[in-house]
Amino acid sequence: KQEVTQIPAALSVPEGENLVLNCSFTDSAIYNLQWFRQDPGKGLTSLLLIQSSQREQTSGRLNASLDKSSGRSTLYIAASQPGDSATYLCAVTRGSTLGRLYFGRGTQLTVWP
């Protein structure tokens, strides 16, 4: 069974810092990996999707990497802002059905001014 672990569980940093959030998964046979942010009462917002054949994806201040062989992904947030405060979730696709995801418990990020 696929297990997804995220470290750290919580992180509190001052504005402007560069951050790294970690995600690991036990079964390397994944189709893709996605990073989401979850804001209270607002569901999940997709941030980045990395296909299993890719090594990284970038969107603005966000960069996600994937090392499928070692079962690891990192989400790098550059120049953090208070608006980045949220819970960040990592999820991998289960089997061949896109949309069936295994989630980690998330990293709760607080960026203070």
Binding site for other proteins (CB under 8 A): 4, 32, 34, 36, 41-46, 49, 51, 89, 91, 94, 97-106
Cα dist. 88→29, 33, 42, 80 in Å?
23, 13, 13, 14
Contact call for residues 111 and 84 (beta carbons, < 8 A): yes
Alpha carbon distance 46, 24 (integer Å)? 18
To the nearest whole angstrom, how small is the minimum distance from the Cβ of residue 44 to other proteins? Answer: 4
Contact call for residues 91 and 33 (beta carbons, < 8 A): yes
Q: Which is nearer to other proteins, 61 or 94 (CB)?
A: 94
Q: Nearest 5°: phi and psi at 84?
A: -80, -10
